[in-house]
A and B are shown apart, each in its own frame.
Chain A
């Protein structure tokens, strides 16, 4: 009754929605996925000139949308800030958050979210101008450090300097773009954020060679998509969509050969993954070709990586920890069985 008062007036206008217990039903009824992304981070999520969102995190959203609807464009991207992201997810405004968010104990347990995997293994690093002659983060006593506020970075930073008993002057900055401008102007000696962010930022400088990323990585930053706690069916869909991308790379399924492979192969795992064998899709409450669609959306994990942040892009990140386990990385999808 109370609900109808709002909804009566508002659903007519298409403004309101009642989040029911099952996110999947809501998403299906709405016809698109609401995915929370950053307001703009090079390589991970940014709109292009036509307003189409692109990036590595965006790729995960599109894969999930493709798994549910078979249509990677059935996503509404909701830009969130470091401050608003968790509330947006908790309140049901977005169905999933793919916004380079670090998986931590308190976020998982206390803030009641469910991390559905890790799409990027990151760590907090430091970047300094080469001219400063600093070779280790331990030499930074008394330095002025630019940090992006509202993230785990400022806690890591405080811990690191306290542990090493050296002093520093924090300069909190709201956005990456501002921080970059401050750093380039020399208003801070050091810029610290996730190593991927540092590389991305450095890549866009006029003279990237004048800046070095210090060897110390002072924290573990496993970044991944997350959903609300309690809706395990929906959590499973997001988790296995991501795993499908990772497994696809491991199994050699790419967007180029996927249509060929979908006709059936000798490898039963590929067959199960692509839905020609078994009924994995049905178990998730999706169609049989869910993973096929997810992989087709933007390619497998490796393709997404190469296209958005890989070594051939201006950002130029190496795979590093984010290589497949076979290649010495940490990516390891549970088996599709």
Chain B
């Protein structure tokens, strides 16, 4: 009758830290930690010493100082008397604007080019192949410069619109002017604006108009409510279909919900379309889409679109041919096959690489420097750093902004990705 006894407990020995797998990872991590801390300390220490040697300090006070330079495209109020911080904000909004517009157009172009490259129309397929390969294999910077130059060279100057016999004319019933300084499109303004009309200069023969943020907010709220209503109608229709097998016709209800409430609000506010017109050197009024914005937007979209096209093509090719055949067998037409069978499945393959393309596009928008588009790198990371000599602080802020933006985009897109992912049981 021997009792089973534990093996004699060994005292902890120092060598176990290295040779015992239970402790080894701890040791390695501690060593790594120490090395990392020493390395960081070394860098920070060097920086402090260098700053001292240059007689500079480390503070972000420059953000509160007067900027002194002008920015052409500003989505919020800004003048040369505003602060550097404000200039950075203007830049941030400009970056977000071009990135947002770019992502949308790139997706559209990418899907069109990707699908068309698989088209059985030989000419179209080849043309798309040329587009995709041409844009993928030449640096983006070259494309940005080239597109910018093409736009300035080929569009008419504003002065060509002037005079007895203008060589250029406005398009679409004198509402859109395409010049080599950008495109001027009409804007919507309100005669009964909630913010009042006094602040706005009027042209001869026109009532003074204004458009304030509150007006647009109101319209957005109404539009949102309409969309909510439309969804409710659809849900009701689906419920009816499940119950009776017949889907009630609801398109007129949906259309009415979409148009009528918004239309009424617009009428009450007294919405008018204000066309741009030539005054002095330039067109005024209306919305000015500057050349730099358009060139950067087009270049980013065309470049990223070429990559997205390849992703889309790969995604479609990855779907088993049996799926197409099966849906033909069910009697679906090619268009519906694409929409209802192929694309939804391809989407799962497409979305993850698509996210990284969106991230690339956002980061590539920093090439705005090449066309003088005033994004955050040009304001905060460019002129501000240059005028104040605060490289360290400015670059830290700039890097931090891009990092946060990238992480935010990838988080949002990953949430979307997991919502469309194949639910495996």
| A39 adjacent to chain B (CB < 8 Å) | no
Q: Give Cα A5 to B372, complex, Å.
A: 42
Contact across chains for B70 and A157 when beta carbons are under 8 A apart: yes
Q: Are A149 and B68 also in contact (CB < 8 A) when A172-B374, A174-B372 are?
A: no
Contact across chains for B382 and A142 when beta carbons are under 8 A apart: no
Q: Chain B residues near A143 (CB, 8 Å)? A: 280-282
Q: Give Cα A169 to B283, complex, Å.
A: 12
Contact across chains for B72 and A169 when beta carbons are under 8 A apart: yes
Closest to A169 in B: B72
Closest to B182 in A: A187
Contact across chains for B152 and A149 when beta carbons are under 8 A apart: no
Which stretch (A81-89, A232-240, A265-273) binds chain B?
A81-89
Q: Chain B residues near A132 (CB, 8 Å)? A: 159, 281
Q: Are A150 and B382 also in contact (CB < 8 A) when A158-B68, A185-B152 are?
A: yes
Q: Mark B384-405, 1 if CB is under 8 A from A, else 0.
A: 0111010100000000000000
**Cβ of A258 to closest chain B Cβ, rounded Å:** 40
Indicate which residue in B145, B281, B284, B391 contacts A87 across the interface (CB closer than 8 Å): B391
Contact across chains for A149 and B70 when beta carbons are under 8 A apart: no
Contact across chains for B149 and A154 when beta carbons are under 8 A apart: no
Q: Give Cα A174 to B386, complex, Å.
A: 13
Q: Give Cα A155 to B71, complex, Å.
A: 11
Interface residues on A, range: 35 or more
Contact across chains for B181 and A188 when beta carbons are under 8 A apart: yes
Closest to B180 in A: A187
Q: Are A171 and B372 also in contact (CB < 8 A) when A142-B279, A143-B282, A154-B383 are?
A: yes
Q: Give Cα A158 to B383, complex, Å.
A: 13
Q: Are A149 and B281 also in contact (CB < 8 A) when A170-B72, A186-B157 are?
A: no
Q: Give Cα A230 to B281, complex, Å.
A: 49
Indicate which residue in A86, A112, A158, A182 contacts B152 across the interface (CB closer than 8 Å): A182
| B95 adjacent to chain A (CB < 8 Å) | no
**Cβ of A323 to closest chain B Cβ, rounded Å:** 32
Q: Give Cα A142 to B55, complex, Å.
A: 43
Contact across chains for A144 and B281 when beta carbons are under 8 A apart: yes
Q: Give Cα A110 to B389, complex, Å.
A: 8
Instruction: Show the binding face of A for B, using Cβ within 8 Å.
Output: 2, 82-83, 86-87, 90, 106, 110-112, 131-132, 140-144, 149-150, 154-155, 157-159, 161-162, 168-174, 178, 181-182, 185-189
Q: Give Cα A189 to B55, complex, Å.
A: 43
Contact across chains for A162 and B80 when beta carbons are under 8 A apart: yes
Contact across chains for A142 and B282 when beta carbons are under 8 A apart: yes
Q: Chain A residues near B284 (CB, 8 Å)? A: 142
Contact across chains for B389 and A173 when beta carbons are under 8 A apart: no
Q: Give Cα A182 to B153, complex, Å.
A: 8
Contact across chains for B282 and A181 when beta carbons are under 8 A apart: no
Indicate which residue in B153, B292, B378 contacts A185 across the interface (CB closer than 8 Å): B153
Q: Chain B residues near A144 (CB, 8 Å)? A: 181, 281-282
| B69 adjacent to chain A (CB < 8 Å) | yes
**Cβ of B253 to closest chain A Cβ, rounded Å:** 47
Q: Chain B residues near A172 (CB, 8 Å)? A: 72, 372, 374, 378
**Cβ of B108 to closest chain A Cβ, rounded Å:** 27
Interface residues on B, range: 35 or more
Q: Chain A residues near B382 (CB, 8 Å)? A: 83, 149-150
Closest to A151 in B: B386
Q: Give Cα A82 to B372, complex, Å.
A: 14
Q: Chain A residues near B282 (CB, 8 Å)? A: 142-144, 169
7 cross-chain pairs, A with B, having the tightest CB-CB distances, nearest first:
A186-B157, A158-B80, A142-B280, A172-B372, A185-B152, A187-B152, A143-B281
Contact across chains for B70 and A170 when beta carbons are under 8 A apart: yes
| B304 adjacent to chain A (CB < 8 Å) | no
Contact across chains for B149 and A155 when beta carbons are under 8 A apart: no
Q: Give Cα A141 to B279, complex, Å.
A: 10
Q: Are A154 and B70 also in contact (CB < 8 A) when A142-B281, A185-B152 are?
A: yes
Q: Chain B residues near A161 (CB, 8 Å)? A: 70
| B329 adjacent to chain A (CB < 8 Å) | no
Closest to B389 in A: A111
> Could you name 15 residue pairs across A and B whose Cβ atoms are closer than 8 Å?
A83-B382, A86-B386, A142-B279, A150-B386, A154-B70, A159-B68, A161-B70, A171-B72, A171-B181, A172-B72, A172-B372, A173-B372, A182-B152, A186-B152, A187-B157
Indicate which residue in B42, B81, B159, B385 contacts A83 across the interface (CB closer than 8 Å): B385
Closest to A173 in B: B372
| B211 adjacent to chain A (CB < 8 Å) | no
Q: Chain B residues near A168 (CB, 8 Å)? A: 70
**Cβ of B30 to closest chain A Cβ, rounded Å:** 24
**Cβ of B79 to closest chain A Cβ, rounded Å:** 8
Contact across chains for B291 and A187 when beta carbons are under 8 A apart: yes
| B407 adjacent to chain A (CB < 8 Å) | no
Q: Give Cα A186 to B387, complex, Å.
A: 29
Q: Give Cα A155 to B383, complex, Å.
A: 10
Q: Give Cα A189 to B383, complex, Å.
A: 23
Q: Chain B residues near A154 (CB, 8 Å)? A: 69-70, 383
Contact across chains for A150 and B69 when beta carbons are under 8 A apart: no
Indicate which residue in B69, B292, B386 contacts A158 across the interface (CB closer than 8 Å): B69
Q: Chain A residues near B391 (CB, 8 Å)? A: 87
